[in-house]
Amino acid sequence: MPSWSELQPFIVSGLALGGVYALSGVGLVVLYRATGVLYLAFGAVGAMGALIAYSLISAGAPGWAGWIVCVLFGGVLTLGYGMIFGPPLARRDPLVKAVATLGLTLVLFGVMDLLWTSSGGQARSITLPTDNGGFSLAQIQVTWTQVLSLGLGIALTVGTGAFLRYTSLGTAMRAMANDREITATLGVPVRRVEAAAWFGCGVLGGLAGLLLADLVALDATTLTFLVISSLAAALIGQLRSIPVTFGAALVIGLVHDLLTPITQLTDYRDMSPFVLAAIALLWVSRHGTVMSRSREEA
């Protein structure tokens, strides 16, 4: 067993990893609550946005231009998907809506591999100005980017919770995610609210993609399927509770990194998100709450 002083840095790195999961996990839940769609293309959209930013920056564009394009790409693409495929799928089961976004994931993934090939051993990365500063904690450096992502996670947790609950647009989104037709009968401009929800979520996806490309890697495969691990946190939050998702993401990150220095368990540490999610899901289902319902109220 590692000593306490050896473990300390893993606590810090675990929280940073948790911040990564939180960013996309919270993003998934926010989207789900606002649109009623589990947007599994979240990672792919962010990855493609970040790759576009990378190409622009490599071609000589200023950094901020690349970042804005990345975020806008996420927003516009997601808006486009939502506007085209939202209505025909509106009355379908959440499961069908989620699987349809897997279709988008496949399309984006194929496009990314075509356009940003690795046939020459290319390794890409994107750095943000916030990488350079930071402070030292438990013998290791914490960059402002990590702080930023954690902060964004917290801001989302607090902000979107309040937004969805207290603003009229937020209320309209929740109502719409729950039942589009009834919401429409109540006089809510469904199309516009939907558009706002999709666009906002896409922007979030682009923003997350940019940060994750910096924190994890600028790699289409890694970022696209990071969603699977992040989904674990969202599932623990039952796709509903943003604070629980945020907390679960931190716990998953901590567990994962704390297992790293423990020789006997280190090979299995990558199971942590899946095992924790499975335990949580089963525990909740045993206590017979919403989990066994197929349609959630947002």
Partner 1 sequence: MVQTTAAQKTAPAPARQGWAALRRRDTITRLSVITALLAFTLFGLPQLLSLYYTDAMTQVAAYAIVALGLGMLVGRVGLYSLGQVAVLAIGAWAAARLLFATGQPFPVVLVEAGLITMLLGTLIGLPALRLRGLYFALITLMLSGAITVVLATVNFPNGGGGFTGYNGGSLHIPAIRRPSIAGTDVAYYRYAVVVAIIMFVLVYAHIKTRPGRAWAAIRQSEPAALAAGINITFYKIWAFALASFITGVAGGVLAGADRFLYSIDFHPQDSIALLAVVLMGGVYSMYGAVIAALLNSLLPAALQDWGVSQDWLTILFGIGVVQVLTTAPAGIVDQFPRDMKRLGGLLWRLVRRPAPGAPAASAPPGAPGAPGASRGGKA
Partner 2 sequence: MKEYAPRRWRLAAALASVLAVGGVLAGCSSSSTSSSSSGGAPATSSGAPATSASSGGGGASDTSSCGSKPGVAATGTPINLGTINTQQPGTDFTDIANMAQAYFNCVNANGGVNGHPIKYSIQTEKTDPAQIASDAKQLVQGDHVVGIVGNTSILECTINHKYWEGLGIYVIDSGIAPECWSTPNTAPVNMGPRYSSDGAVQYMISLKVDKIAFDQSNVPGTDYIAAGPKAIAAAANVPIQTFTTNVPIQSANSVALQLVQAAGKNGAVVLNFTPPEALKILQAAAKLHIQNNVKAWGCSTPCDTDFLASALGTAFDNKLFVNAELTPADGTNTPTMNLYRAILKQYGSNVSGGIGSFSQFGFVEARLAVQALSTVQGDYTVASVNAAFKALKDVETGMNCGKFTYGDYPMHIPNNADYTVTPTKGQMLVVPGSGCLSISTADPQIAQYVNLAGRAPADTTSLGS
- In whole angstroms, give the CA distance from residue 284 to residue 140: 37
DSSP letters spanning 30-68: HHHHHHS---TTHHHHHHHHHHHHHHHHHTT--HHHHHH
Q: Is 255 an interacting residue with respect to partner 2 (CB under 8 A)?
A: no
Q: What does the block give as tokens for 37?
A: 């769609």
- Alpha-carbon dihedral angle through residues 212, 218, 221, 224, given to the nearest 10 degrees: 30
Residues 6+ apart with CB under 8 A from 179: none
Question: Which range binds partner 1 by CB under 8 A, 51-59, 153-161, 255-263, 288-296?
Answer: 288-296
13 vs 160, beta carbon nearer partner 2: 13
Q: Is 103 an interacting residue with respect to partner 1 (CB under 8 A)?
A: yes
C-beta of residue 76 within 8 angstroms of C-beta of residue 84: no
Q: Is 238 left (phi over 0), alpha (psi -120 to 50) or beta?
A: left
Question: Which range binds partner 1 by CB under 8 A, 45-53, 56-64, 136-144, 224-232?
Answer: 224-232
45 vs 291, beta carbon nearer partner 2: 45
Among 173, 193, 277, 298, binds partner 1 (CB under 8 A): 277
180 closest CA partner among 78, 64, 97? 97
Among 152, 190, 273, 298, binds partner 1 (CB under 8 A): 273
Among 60, 84, 117, 293, binds partner 2 (CB under 8 A): 117
147 vs 290, beta carbon nearer partner 1: 290
20 vs 173, beta carbon nearer partner 2: 20
* CB neighbours of residue 166 within 10 Å: 9
14 vs 74, beta carbon nearer partner 2: 14
Q: Is 96 an interacting residue with respect to partner 1 (CB under 8 A)?
A: yes
Q: Is 229 an interacting residue with respect to partner 2 (CB under 8 A)?
A: yes
- In whole angstroms, give the CA distance from residue 47 to residue 219: 7
- Partner from partner 1, partner 2, none contacting 89, C-beta within 5 to 8 A by type: partner 1
Residue 266, classified by CB atoms within 10 Å of its CB into exposed (0-12), middle (13-18) or buried (19+), is exposed
HSE-CB of 203 using CA atoms within 13 angstroms: 9
Q: Is 100 an interacting residue with respect to partner 1 (CB under 8 A)?
A: yes
HSE-CB of 232 using CA atoms within 13 angstroms: 25
Among 61, 65, 140, 182, binds partner 2 (CB under 8 A): 140
149 vs 230, beta carbon nearer partner 1: 230
198 closest CA partner among 24, 26, 30? 30
Binding site for partner 1 (CB under 8 A): 38, 85, 88-89, 91-96, 98-100, 102-111, 113-114, 225, 228-229, 231-232, 235, 239, 267-268, 270-271, 273-275, 277-278, 281-282, 285-286, 291-295
Binding site for partner 2 (CB under 8 A): 2, 6, 9-10, 13-14, 16-17, 20, 109, 112-113, 117-125, 131, 136, 139-141, 143, 216-217, 219-222, 225-226, 229, 253, 256-257, 260-261, 266-267, 270
